[in-house]
Structure 1
Amino acid sequence: MAAIPVQRESGAPGREVRGHAGLPGSPLAPGAARTLVRAALADAPGVSGRLVDDAMAVVSELVTNAVVHAGTDVEVDWRLEGSGVFVVEVRDHHPARAPRDAAGGEVSYETAEYGRGLRLVGSLAESWGVTYRTGAKTVWARITGEGGVPPDGPALDVAEILAPRPQGPGRDRDWLGRGALSFLAEASDLLAGQLDENLVAALTGQLLVPRLADWCAIWLEDEATARGGDGTGPARVWHASENLIEELHRALEKEPPQHGDGLLRSGPEPYAWPGDALGPQHADGTALAYRLIAGGRPLGTLVIGRCGLSRFPDEVTGLVEDLGRRVALAIGAARQYARQATISAVLQRGLLPGAVAEIPGLRSALVYEPCDKGGPSGDFYDLFPAGDGRWCFAVGDVQGKGPEAAVVIGLARPWLRLLAREGYRVADVLDRLNQLLLDDATEAADAAARALVTAGGRPLIAGDGPQTRFLSLLYGELTPYEGGVRCTLASAGHPLPLVLSPDGSVRTAARPQTLLGVVEDESYTSETVELRSGDSLLCVTDGVTERRSGSRQFDDGDGLARALGGCAGLSAERIAERIRRLVHDFGGGLPEDDLALLVLQAE
Structure 2
Amino acid sequence: MGEASGRTEPGEERWSARLHGLWRVSQDVQDVTDMSRYVYESALTEPGSVVVTGTRWVHGELRYLRLATAGRPAPATTTSPAGPVRAGDGRQPPAPGAGPEVVTHDLTAGHADFAPEGAELVAAGARWALESRFRLGDGDWAAVSVGFAERPAPQAATATATRLVQLCEVIVASHHRIVAYREHDKRQIEDAFLAEASLQMDSSLDAQETLRRVARLAVPAMAEGCVVHLCRPGYLDPVASAHVSASVQPWLDSLAREDRWLGGLLSGAVARGESLVLTGDGLTGGPFGTGGEGPGRAVRTVSVNPLRARGKAIGTLTFVYHRDGEDIASPRMLTDLAQRAALAIDTTSAYEQRRRHVELLQRQLLPGALPDPPGVELHAAYEVADASLEVGGDFYDAVIDRDGRLALVIGDVCGRGAEAAAMTGLARHTLRTLLEDGTPAAHALERLNKALLGQSADRFVTALIAVLTSTGQGEHAVEIAAAGHPPPLIRRADGRVEEVVASGVFLGVLPDLAIEPARHQVAPGDVLVLFTDGLTEARSAQGTMFEELLPQAVRECADAPDPAGELIARASKFRALGNDDTAVLVARIEEPR
TM-score range relative to shorter protein: 0.5 to 0.7
Counterparts in 2 of 1:446-461, with a 5 A limit?
Answer: none
TM-superposed CA distance for 1:588, in Å, is 5.6
Q: Indicate how the Cα distance of structure 1 residues 252 and 416 shifts in structure 2: closer, same or farther if over 3 A, else same.
A: farther
Report what 1:516 is aligned to: 507
Superposed CA deviations along residues 96-130 of structure 1, whole A, max 9, x for unmatched, are: xxxxxxxxxxxxxxxxxxxxxxxxxxxxxxxxxxx
Paired residue type of 2:446: D
Distance 1:501 1:577 in 2: 15
Counterparts in 2 of 1:304-383, with a 5 A limit?
Answer: 304=319, 316-360=330-374, 362-366=375-379, 368=381, 370=383, 372=385, 378-383=393-398
- Asked whether the 8 Å contact 1:576–1:597 carries over to 2, the reply is no
Report what 1:6 is aligned to: none
Distance 1:440 1:171 in 2: 70
- Asked whether the 8 Å contact 1:216–1:239 carries over to 2, the reply is no
Please tell me whether residue 474 in structure 1 is matched to residue 464 in structure 2: yes
Superposed CA deviations along residues 546-602 of structure 1, whole A, max 9, x for unmatched, are: 45564554556xx867998xx6xx997479959967994999668965252534548
TM-superposed CA distance for 1:277, in Å, is 1.4
Q: Indicate how the Cα distance of structure 1 residues 418 and 239 shifts in structure 2: closer, same or farther if over 3 A, else same.
A: same
Of 306, 317, 329, 1:291 maps to 306
Aligned residue for 2:267, secondary structure, equals: coil
- Asked whether the 8 Å contact 2:231–2:314 carries over to 1, the reply is yes
Superposed CA deviations along residues 308-336 of structure 1, whole A, max 9, x for unmatched, are: 98x88997111111111101011112212
Residues paired across the two proteins, number: 397
Distance 1:278 1:596 in 2: 58
Aligned residue for 1:339, secondary structure, equals: helix
- Asked whether the 8 Å contact 1:364–1:572 carries over to 2, the reply is no
Q: Indicate how the Cα distance of structure 1 residues 576 and 192 shifts in structure 2: closer, same or farther if over 3 A, else same.
A: closer
Report what 1:245 is aligned to: 252
Distance 2:244 2:495 in 1: 70
Of 307, 316, 319, 1:301 maps to 316
Report what 1:542 is aligned to: 533
Counterparts in 2 of 1:32-51, with a 5 A limit?
Answer: none
Q: Indicate how the Cα distance of structure 1 residues 379 and 252 shifts in structure 2: closer, same or farther if over 3 A, else same.
A: farther
**TM-score of the superposition, structure 2-length normalised?**
0.54
Decide which moves more: 376-385 or 240-249.
240-249
Of 571, 576, 584, 1:596 maps to 584
Report what 1:40 is aligned to: none
Please tell me whether residue 268 in structure 1 is matched to residue 275 in structure 2: yes
Counterparts in 2 of 1:488-527, with a 5 A limit?
Answer: 488-498=479-489, 509-517=500-508, 519-523=509-513, 525-527=515-517
Please tell me whether residue 228 in structure 1 is matched to residue 235 in structure 2: yes
Q: Indicate how the Cα distance of structure 1 residues 386 and 526 shifts in structure 2: closer, same or farther if over 3 A, else same.
A: farther
Which of structures 1 and 2 has the bigger CA Rg?
2
Superposed CA deviations along residues 387-407 of structure 1, whole A, max 9, x for unmatched, are: 133331112233346776554
Distance 2:533 2:502 in 1: 16
Aligned residue for 2:266, secondary structure, equals: coil
Q: Indicate how the Cα distance of structure 1 residues 317 and 440 shifts in structure 2: closer, same or farther if over 3 A, else same.
A: farther
Q: Indicate how the Cα distance of structure 1 residues 259 and 547 shifts in structure 2: closer, same or farther if over 3 A, else same.
A: closer
Q: Indicate how the Cα distance of structure 1 residues 532 and 190 shifts in structure 2: closer, same or farther if over 3 A, else same.
A: closer
Paired residue type of 1:596: V
TM-superposed CA distance for 1:379, in Å, is 3.7
Q: Indicate how the Cα distance of structure 1 residues 242 and 252 shifts in structure 2: closer, same or farther if over 3 A, else same.
A: farther
Paired residue type of 1:290: N
Q: Indicate how the Cα distance of structure 1 residues 595 and 220 shifts in structure 2: closer, same or farther if over 3 A, else same.
A: same
**TM-score of the superposition, structure 1-length normalised?**
0.53
Paired residue type of 2:480: L
Q: What is the percent sequence identity of the aligned residues? A: 27
Paired residue type of 2:241: R
Q: Indicate how the Cα distance of structure 1 residues 426 and 273 shifts in structure 2: closer, same or farther if over 3 A, else same.
A: same
Report what 1:433 is aligned to: 448
Superposed CA deviations along residues 367-386 of structure 1, whole A, max 9, x for unmatched, are: 63526499766543222112
Q: Indicate how the Cα distance of structure 1 residues 237 and 411 shifts in structure 2: closer, same or farther if over 3 A, else same.
A: same
Paired residue type of 1:273: L
Aligned residue for 2:283, secondary structure, equals: coil
Report what 1:447 is aligned to: none
Report what 1:388 is aligned to: 403
Distance 1:199 1:545 in 2: 32
Distance 2:371 2:329 in 1: 68
Paired residue type of 1:387: R
TM-superposed CA distance for 1:513, in Å, is 1.6
Distance 2:185 2:422 in 1: 51
Distance 1:579 1:234 in 2: 33
Superposed CA deviations along residues 264-315 of structure 1, whole A, max 9, x for unmatched, are: x4x3256663554124286996655322111112101224466798x88997
- Asked whether the 8 Å contact 2:370–2:397 carries over to 1, the reply is yes
Distance 2:224 2:207 in 1: 23
- Asked whether the 8 Å contact 1:395–1:474 carries over to 2, the reply is yes
- Asked whether the 8 Å contact 2:308–2:315 carries over to 1, the reply is yes
- Asked whether the 8 Å contact 2:464–2:483 carries over to 1, the reply is yes
Distance 1:184 1:571 in 2: 47
Q: Indicate how the Cα distance of structure 1 residues 573 and 209 shifts in structure 2: closer, same or farther if over 3 A, else same.
A: closer
Paired residue type of 1:470: F
Distance 2:238 2:260 in 1: 9
- Asked whether the 8 Å contact 1:269–1:290 carries over to 2, the reply is yes
- Asked whether the 8 Å contact 2:216–2:241 carries over to 1, the reply is no
5+ residue gaps, structure 1? 1-151, 153-167, 443-467
Paired residue type of 1:428: H
Distance 1:437 1:378 in 2: 15
Distance 1:506 1:368 in 2: 21
- Asked whether the 8 Å contact 2:484–2:504 carries over to 1, the reply is yes
Aligned residue for 1:327, secondary structure, equals: helix
- Asked whether the 8 Å contact 1:234–1:252 carries over to 2, the reply is no
Distance 1:494 1:212 in 2: 57
- Asked whether the 8 Å contact 2:211–2:239 carries over to 1, the reply is no
Distance 1:273 1:533 in 2: 79
- Asked whether the 8 Å contact 1:351–1:409 carries over to 2, the reply is yes
Of 418, 439, 444, 1:424 maps to 439
Superposed CA deviations along residues 156-197 of structure 1, whole A, max 9, x for unmatched, are: xxxxxxxxxxxx999973654422221111111112123444
Q: Indicate how the Cα distance of structure 1 residues 200 and 532 shifts in structure 2: closer, same or farther if over 3 A, else same.
A: closer
Aligned residue for 1:335, secondary structure, equals: helix
